[in-house]
Structure 1
Amino acid sequence: MTSDLASSLWHQTCRENPAFPDFSGEAAADLVVIGGGYTGCSAALRAAELGATVRLIEAEEIGSGGSGRNVGLANAGLWLPPEDINAELGAKTGSRLSALLAGAPEMVFSLIENHAIQCEPQRQGTLHCAHAPGGVKDLRRRHAQLSAIGAPVELLSRAEAVQRTGSDAVHGALFDPRAGTIQPLAYVRGLARAAASAGAQLHSNSPATGISRDGSGWQVTTPKGRLRASHLIMATNAYAREIAGYDAPQVIPVHYFQAATDPLPAPLLENILPGREGCWDTALVMSSWRLDQAGRLVIGGMGALDHCGSALHRSWLARKLAALYPELKDAALRSHWHGRIAMTTEHLPKILDLNGGLACFGYSGRGIGPGTLFGTRMAEALLNGDQSRLPVPPARGHAIAFAGLRSAYYETGATLTHLISDR
C-alpha cells in the first residue's frame, strides 16, 4: 500500500470530479491563490463572489494534499480547549477565535447546501470519547470550558457513550451537536467547482516555481507560464513545496493514516454508531472512527505508512478495530492511506503578513472548519483592505526549532504505541 491519494477510500467514492486545465502563458488577476485545499478553494470562491478576478494554481490535483486525506470530521473549534487558546492568544483574541470557529461547521454545511456539493454530509454531531477511565477527566475539563462560552455540548456517561458508539471500549464521551461528517475530498472539489462557477479560474498540475514582488504586485511563475496579481494567498499548509523567492513557514509534520471496512450489513449498523456521529478519542496517540454513507467503518490513527515500521501501524489498526467492535475482528480493512498534518508548537493556526499577501498554516489536524473560515476571511481581508476580518492577527514571521526532530519524535512515539497497544 502507498499513501497516494488514489489508494484512499475518498478517491474511490468521490462524486465531485471537476476538471481544471494546467496553467500556461501569461495572465493577470486581482488575486492569485497557491494551493487547492480547503483554504485555497474557500478563498477563491469568496474572492470571486466579491467580484475579483482570481487564479488558483495547484501543484497536483485539487485536494491532493491534506484536504483529500482528511478524516472528514467537521468540528467546531480547535483541538485546544478555549482557556488554553486564551492563554496563548490573550482573552480578547482567543475568545474571538473560539467564537468564529464555533460557527465554522455552520459555514461548511451551508456551503454544501448552497452549492449542492455531493460530499455525503451528515450533521449528526461528533463524540470525543474517553479511551480509558482517566480520559473522563479531560472530557470534564473540556465540557466545563466549552459550556462556559455557550457551546451546546453534552457530557455523556459511560453507559450513554457505549449506547451511542456501540462499543464497550469507551468510558464516556463529549457530544457536540454542531459538528458532523463529510466526504472530505468531495467537499474540497465541490468548493473548487463552486469557485469556478462564480468566475474564478482554477488550474491543476501547475506548481508555483517562483514568487517575487515589485511595485505592481506579485509575480508567480509556473513551469509553463507567469501570473501577475495585486494580492497573493499562500494556502499550501503541510504540503508546501520549494518555491524560489519564498521561504515556507516551518511546521511540525505529523502523519495520520486510515483504512476502511467493506459496507457493514444492516444488523451490525443497528448497533455500531446508530446515530452516525464521528468519533475520536482522548488517547495521546489519537484514534478516530466513523461511518461513511455506504456504511463502511473508517478507522485511523497517528502515523505514516511510508516507512519500514508502517506494518506496525497496519497490524495495530486491525487490533484497534477488534477492541472497539469485537464483532468486526475478522473484517478486512481496505484502502489504506495517510496524510500529513501541519502542527505548530502552540497547536494554533497562524497567518503571516507577506506585505500584500497572506499565508496560512498550522491547523494541527482541524482542517475542514478552520480552513474554510480562514480562506474565506483572508480573501475578504485582502480585497477589502481590512485586516480586522482575519480570525487571528497576522504575524511577520514564524519559526520552529528542530521541527524535523519533533516530527520524528511523534512518528516514533506512534509506532512504539502501536507496537504494544490493544494486544
Structure 2
Amino acid sequence: MTTATVRWPDSLWAAATPPGPDLPELIGAQQADVIIIGAGFTGLSTALHLREAGVDVAIVEAMEPGWGASGRNNGQVIPTLSRPDPEDIIAKHGAVGERFVGLLRDSASTLFEVAQRYRIEAEQEQAGWVQPVHSPGRIKIAERRVRQWSKFGAPVELLSREQARDMLGSDAWFGGFWNKTGGHINPLALSRGLARTVLGLGARIYARSPAISFERRNDRWRVKTAKGEIGGRALVVATNAYSGEFSKSLVPDLATEVMPVLSWQMATQPLSDNVRKTIIPGRQAMSDTHGELYFARYDARNRLVTGGAVIGPGNRAERLKARVAERLRRLWPQIGEVSFDHAWNGYVGMTTDFLPRIHRLGPDAYGWTGCNGRAVALSIALGNELAKAVRGVPEKDLSLPFTRPVPIAAHGLLRKLAPLMLLVYRWRDAREIA
C-alpha cells in the first residue's frame, strides 16, 4: 500500500461519514513542542487537551485520522475494562490503580462531554451499556462487577433475567448488569470530528506520513518519516494495535507486548420500526459474557451493528455473515431474514492479562497499548492524562499506572496461532451452557 492514496475499509462508518479534513504530508524539517505519533482517539484527544492548555502540538499519522482501529470498531462506549475489575486493578497498581479506576468510571461521560462541548456530530447516544450473562453461573460475574463498581460510585445496576429480557427483547440471557453512562457513537465520525476540532484549536496534523523511527538527540525528540523530520520537546506514541504495521522497528517493545487480533464488524439493513422496538428497545449498547463475544448496537439509521470472528482462509466475510445472521435469528426470532450491507475488520490489541500497558519511553515521552476491546472511552480519557504528563503534572496527580514493556515471547508464532483461540472460546461457551 502506498501512502499517496488512502483506501478506506468497506465499512458502514466510511459510507455514512462525511470526509475528513484535507491534510498535508510531513515534508522537510518541522518543529513542535509536543509530537504525537498516531491520529486515532488517543492521539487526537491528547492533542485536544494540550491545545486547551495552549501547548504547541503536531500529530504525525501514517494514513488519515481514524483509518486504524479508531475508525473501524463497533463504536460501543464502555466505561470498564473487558475482564479486570476495580479490585484487580488496585491489587496490581495500588494507589495509582485506584485513580485509574476513577478514570475508567468516568471515561464514557468524558467522551460524551467532549463531543458535546465541541459540537462534534458523531451519532452519539448515551443510552447505557448492558452486559448480559449467557449462562446461569455467570450471574456471579454481574454481581461482582455491580458490587465493585458501585463501591467506586459508578451508576451500575444488577439485572434479573426478566429485566434483561425486557431490556434486550430476548430471553437468551440469564440476567446481567448495566451502566447508565455508556452508549455508542459513530467512531469514524468522532475521529474526524476530533481532527477538525484540534485543527481549529491550532494543532497540526500530518497525514500519509508513517513514522519510520524516533530518537532522543540534543535533549529533543526527533521523529523521521519518508519525506521529513519533526523535532519536539516531548513525545507521545499513540499507535496501539497498529504499532508494528508500518514499521517493525518503530516501537518493537510496544508492538510485541500486544497481540493484534482481527475483529469483524457488520451492519444489517435498517430494521423496520415495528421490529426495532422489540430488539433492544432502549437502544443501549450490548456485549455479553461469551468468550466468542455476542455484541450489538444500533446506528442512527436503525441498522443493527454487530460482528464476530472467523477462522481460516477463504471468503471470511461471507462465511461470517451466514454465522452471525443465524445467531441474530436465534437471539431475536422476530428479526426475520437478515442481510448485511457492510462487513469490515480491524485490529484489537490484546494483552495477556487484559490490562492496558502505559509506559514512559524516555524523558518527556510516553506511550500506551493494549485496548483489549475497550479503547473508545478509555482512549479519550487517557489522552487527557497523557497531556497532563507531558505538561509536567506530578506523577502522584496522574491516573496512569506506568509499567515496563514486557514483550510476548514467540510473538510472531503466537500471532499466527491466535485465531485458533476462537475454538477454545467456543468450547468453553458450549460447555458452560451445557
SS of corresponding position for 1:110:
helix
Q: CA deviation at 1:109?
A: 0.6
Between the aligned partners of 1:236 and 1:341, the Cα distance in structure 2 is: 12
Q: CA deviation at 1:384?
A: 2.6
Conservation of the 8 A alpha-carbon contact between 1:117 and 1:190: yes
**Is 1:87 aligned to 2:91, yes or no?**
yes
Give the aligned residue type for 1:350: R
Indicate how the Cα distance of structure 1 residues 359 and 303 shifts in structure 2: closer, same or farther if over 3 A, else same.
Answer: farther
Between the aligned partners of 2:97 and 2:80, the Cα distance in structure 1 is: 11
For residues 13-162 of structure 1, the aligned pairs below 5 Å read: 13-15=16-18, 17-79=20-82, 80-90=84-94, 92-162=95-165
SS of corresponding position for 1:134:
helix
For residue 242 of structure 1, the aligned residue among 219, 222, 247 is 247
**Is 1:393 aligned to 2:401, yes or no?**
yes
Residues 244-285 of structure 1 deviation map (CA, whole Å, 9 limit, x = unaligned): 564341212222211111111111122111111000011112
CA RMSD of aligned residues (A): 2.2
Q: What are the ranges of 5 or more consecutive residues in structure 2 without an aligned counterpart?
A: 1-6
Q: CA deviation at 1:407?
A: 4.0
Conservation of the 8 A alpha-carbon contact between 1:88 and 1:346: no
1:201 maps to: 204
Q: CA deviation at 1:295?
A: 0.4
SS of corresponding position for 2:387:
helix
Conservation of the 8 A alpha-carbon contact between 1:32 and 1:231: yes
**Is 1:322 aligned to 2:326, yes or no?**
no
**Is 1:188 aligned to 2:191, yes or no?**
yes
Give the aligned residue type for 1:349: P
For residues 285-296 of structure 1, the aligned pairs below 5 Å read: 285-296=292-303
Conservation of the 8 A alpha-carbon contact between 2:97 and 2:401: no
Residues 271-324 of structure 1 deviation map (CA, whole Å, 9 limit, x = unaligned): 1111110000111121210111110001112457x8338354333211111111
Indicate how the Cα distance of structure 1 residues 246 and 294 shifts in structure 2: closer, same or farther if over 3 A, else same.
Answer: closer
For residue 414 of structure 1, the aligned residue among 419, 422, 426 is 422
Conservation of the 8 A alpha-carbon contact between 1:286 and 1:301: yes
Give the aligned residue type for 2:142: L
| Larger mean Cα displacement after TM superposition, 33-42 or 46-55 | 46-55
For residue 378 of structure 1, the aligned residue among 383, 386, 398 is 386
| Larger mean Cα displacement after TM superposition, 308-317 or 67-76 | 308-317
Q: CA deviation at 1:97?
A: 0.9
Between the aligned partners of 1:385 and 1:214, the Cα distance in structure 2 is: 24
Q: CA deviation at 1:130?
A: 1.2
Give me the TM-score of the superposition, normalised by structure 2.
Answer: 0.90
Between the aligned partners of 1:331 and 1:358, the Cα distance in structure 2 is: 45
SS of corresponding position for 1:46:
helix
Q: CA deviation at 1:93?
A: 2.6
Indicate how the Cα distance of structure 1 residues 115 and 5 shifts in structure 2: closer, same or farther if over 3 A, else same.
Answer: same
Between the aligned partners of 2:378 and 2:250, the Cα distance in structure 1 is: 27
Q: How many residues get paired?
A: 417
SS of corresponding position for 1:116:
coil
Identity of aligned residues (%): 34
Between the aligned partners of 1:216 and 1:154, the Cα distance in structure 2 is: 51
Between the aligned partners of 1:286 and 1:390, the Cα distance in structure 2 is: 33
Give me the TM-score of the superposition, normalised by structure 1.
Answer: 0.92
For residue 364 of structure 1, the aligned residue among 358, 366, 372 is 372
